[in-house]
Amino acid sequence: MTFINLFLSSFVVFISHYFCRQVHQLVCIMQAANCAICKQHLVGGKPTVTLTQKGAAGINEASSKQTDDVSVNPGGKVHQDCRRDY
């Protein structure tokens, strides 16, 4: 294998991994598949709850008090434990 071939193949591997990660993130965002509080996947994890208007407002309020970057929308999903402990 020449140097250029080696370079190209590592470049292709790098790019495909990069895109894979981007697509994965995009899919997660589109499906809102991550818990807004702990940022972990919701799928296949702990029990989840769907936030009500009031629940979301409470979390956003607590977040701004703690100067956290947590921000949720009504209808969004978070872990049951995360919402309780937040």
Place of tokens 């899919």: 27
In whole angstroms, the minimum distance from the beta carbon of 37 to Zn ion comes to 5
In whole angstroms, the minimum distance from the beta carbon of 9 to Zn ion comes to 39
Taking residue 9's Cβ as centre, other Cβ atoms within 10 Å add up to 11
Distance CA 36, CA 29 (A): 10
Q: Which amino acid is at 34?
A: N
17 vs 41 by CB, closer to Zn ion: 41
38 is written with which tokens?
A: 């702990």
In whole angstroms, the minimum distance from the beta carbon of 42 to Zn ion comes to 8
Contact set with Zn ion (CB under 5 A): 35, 37-38, 79, 82
4 vs 47 by CB, closer to Zn ion: 47
